[in-house]
């Protein structure tokens, strides 16, 4: 049985930085070749980054991608890496018109290519285009109609791109019909909670349907709201996990695969399932000896639920800061749980030396909250200062007659103005501390605590904020470090501290109850009647639904933040702001 040494390059491409991404492909290919790899694969659209959104509609960007692909093939050969085929994703264009989709020749496509001996030896486009959740690929791309099969060292390797295996049939069924020995899938699959289990089940099922081993390479890093967790996997035709990369870190997975020998058939252009045409590229027909050395790919251990979420929040924050050219962050540190959690995430993401926090007390700020903020700063080593907003508040109140909610919101807006002023003066990027529960019901002040360029816990319900804080402290103790978040911050009742003795429960249901209703209404898309039928108090449901619906305009103006749930506010959930439907 032929042996193929495969390398899956789990890397972090940067959207739009084609030159950097090309350098990374060369660097990781060199590592793979040094490990004896005979075939190297990179993630979906690794050359351009993913997703490129409406950059795909710019002809200049498409042509830059296509030109860089050709240059990359030549560069790999020039650097002595050309003998090993490299599969890399890029942004391409169609050669023919697609009347079925109303798209002319030259329309953008989500493509991949095989580079070998200085040439682009085959190109193909993604067949199944996702158009749900965070994906809008029908807006940008036209689908491909080929099943590319690479004959290498006596083995037939079928190639696919991400969604091609998330949908039934298509290239999976066609791979079986082509009698492929391996189905290699390149991916840009965003993270969401528990997706690693879903992903494993998927690749096992598709391997069985394709009748061959399946190798799945995914990217890591963050792109605006999306976080990519890697989790590259190789399974046998029987579904056995042969190797698995760690989550949330760049990694080169190299392993030897014993695969069935390709048949004698060299047929090209054969019509397969789903209208796919077989395109076979023959590079070598004879098996080769096993390369020297024996890779130890291993099966990386899975992270706990809290550790996985924490890694996603840290990865998303780090990527947003770095990829947008910033080095430091600024946070309004109130002594409450939300800003404390954001500060701890920021410290892990960019280092305490790059985290600047400001305590901005008013007449209603408790001493224990001021002390908690200072204690967190002491524990983590971040930069900390105190700037009272009391004189500014008094000046406003002396010039205007504000009471009730207007008076409360003025305090928040003064803090937002101060944070943005410091940001402008010192060059930090401001992180907003709002959580998903608050954003859902509009429990935040527009142009106040909503200011900032990124919201690290935007997709984290309040009822999850506390377990994450406890987990991070426990993790610090396990490492022999000082827990970053003071215990008093975690244990005290949540309060905005904008009026005397204020508690969040004065305005909202208990967070466990609130979040249970929100999860059904937001993630589950359940209507009011269905939620009530599940046993929830009709008055509570009516109130929560009304709050969510009327806060849409606030959410539209909130900064992006890392997606961890099946449906976040932003790319996933798009509802009209002006909306009279109130029945859920």
Residue 40 near residue 254 (C-beta atoms within 8 A): no
Catalytic annotation present for 357: no
Q: What dihedral do alpha carbons 458, 461, 464, 465 form, nearest 10°?
A: 50
Nearest Cα residue to 230 out of 166, 186, 184: 186
Token pair of 512 as six digits? 């466990």
Q: What are phi and psi of 31, to 5 degrees?
A: -65, -45
**What's the CA angle centered on 106, arms 105 and 112, to 5 degrees?**
115
Q: How far apart are CA 458 and CA 568, in angstroms?
A: 8
Q: How far is CA 89 from CA 8, 122, 142, 474, in A?
A: 13, 12, 15, 40
Catalytic annotation present for 126: yes
Of these residues, 24, 111, 126, 438, which one is catalytic? 126
Of these residues, 111, 162, 212, 357, which one is catalytic? 162
Of these residues, 24, 44, 192, 526, which one is catalytic? 44
- What is the DSSP annotation of 104-172? -TT-EEEEEEEEETTEEEEEEE-SS---STT--HHHH-----EEEEEEETTEEEEEEETHHHHSSSHHH
- H/E stretch holding 394 reads helix 390-399
Pairing outcome for strands 429-430 and 329-332: parallel
Q: What are phi and psi of 280, to 5 degrees?
A: -100, 130
Nearest Cα residue to 186 out of 150, 215, 153: 215
Place of tokens 């900064």: 559
Alpha helices in 18-97 (DSSP H): 18-34, 59-78
Q: Indicate the angle between helix axes 18-34 and 59-78, nearest 10 degrees.
A: 30
Residue 225 near residue 256 (C-beta atoms within 8 A): no
Q: Which residues are catalytic?
A: 44, 126, 162
């Amino acid at each position: 049985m032929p042996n193929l040494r495969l390398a899956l390059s789990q890397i972090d491409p940067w959207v739009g930085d084609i030159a950097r991404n090309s350098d990374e492909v060369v660097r990781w290919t060199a590592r793979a070749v040094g490990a004896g790899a005979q075939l190297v694969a990179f993630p979906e659209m690794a050359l351009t980054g993913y997703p490129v959104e409406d950059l795909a509609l710019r002809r200049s960007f498409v042509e830059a991608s296509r030109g860089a692909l050709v240059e990359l093939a030549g560069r790999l050969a020039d650097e002595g890496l050309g003998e090993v085929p490299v599969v890399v994703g890029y942004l391409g264009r169609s050669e023919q018109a697609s009347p079925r989709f109303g798209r002319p020749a030259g329309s953008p496509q989500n493509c991949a290519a095989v580079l070998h001996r200085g040439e682009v030896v085959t190109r193909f486009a993604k067949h199944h285009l996702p158009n749900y959740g965070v994906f809008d690929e029908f807006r940008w791309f036209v689908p491909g109609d080929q099943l590319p099969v690479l004959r290498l060292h006596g083995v037939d390797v079928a190639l696919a791109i991400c969604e091609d295996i998330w949908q039934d049939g298509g290239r999976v069924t066609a791979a079986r019909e082509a009698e492929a020995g391996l189905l290699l899938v390149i991916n840009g699959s965003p993270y969401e909670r528990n997706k690693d289990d879903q992903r494993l089940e998927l690749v096992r099922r598709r391997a069985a349907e394709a009748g061959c081993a399946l190798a799945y390479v995914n990217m890591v890093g963050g792109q605006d709201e999306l976080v990519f967790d890697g989790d590259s996997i190789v399974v046998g035709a029987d579904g056995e996990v042969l190797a698995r990369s760690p989550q949330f870190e760049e990694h080169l997975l190299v392993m030897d695969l014993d695969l069935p020998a390709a048949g004698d058939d060299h047929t090209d252009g054969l019509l397969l399932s789903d209208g796919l045409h077989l395109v076979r590229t023959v590079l070598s027909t004879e098996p080769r000896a096993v390369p020297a050395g024996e890779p130890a790919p291993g099966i990386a251990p899975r992270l706990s639920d809290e550790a996985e979420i924490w890694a996603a929040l840290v990865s998303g924050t780090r990527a947003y800061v770095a990829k947008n050219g910033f080095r430091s962050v600024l946070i309004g540190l109130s002594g409450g749980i939300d800003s404390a959690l954001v500060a701890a995430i920021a410290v892990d993401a960019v280092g305490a030396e790059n985290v600047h926090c400001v305590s901005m007390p008013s007449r209603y700020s408790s001493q224990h909250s001021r002390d908690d903020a200072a204690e967190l700063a002491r524990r983590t080593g971040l930069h900390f200062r105190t700037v009272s907003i009391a004189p500014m508040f008094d000046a406003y109140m002396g010039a205007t007659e504000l009471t009730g909610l207007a008076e409360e919101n003025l305090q928040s807006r003064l803090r937002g103005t101060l944070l943005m002023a410091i940001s402008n003066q010192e060059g930090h990027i401001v992180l907003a501390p709002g959580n998903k529960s608050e954003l859902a019901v509009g429990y935040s002040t527009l142009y106040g605590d909503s200011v900032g360029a990124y919201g690290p816990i935007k997709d984290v319900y309040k009822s999850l904020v506390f377990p994450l804080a406890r987990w991070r402290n426990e993790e610090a103790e396990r490492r022999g470090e000082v827990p970053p978040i003071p215990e008093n911050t975690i244990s005290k009742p949540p309060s905005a501290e904008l009026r005397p003795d204020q508690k969040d429960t004065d305005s909202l249901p208990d967070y466990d109850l609130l979040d249970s209703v929100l999860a059904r209404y937001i993630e589950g898309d359940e209507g009011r009647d269905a939620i009530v039928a599940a046993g929830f108090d009709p008055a509570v449901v009516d109130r929560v639904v009304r709050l969510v619906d009327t806060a849409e305009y606030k959410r539209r103006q909130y900064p992006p933040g890392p997606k961890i749930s099946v449906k976040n506010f932003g790319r996933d959930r798009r509802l009209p702001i002006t909306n009279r439907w109130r029945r859920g």
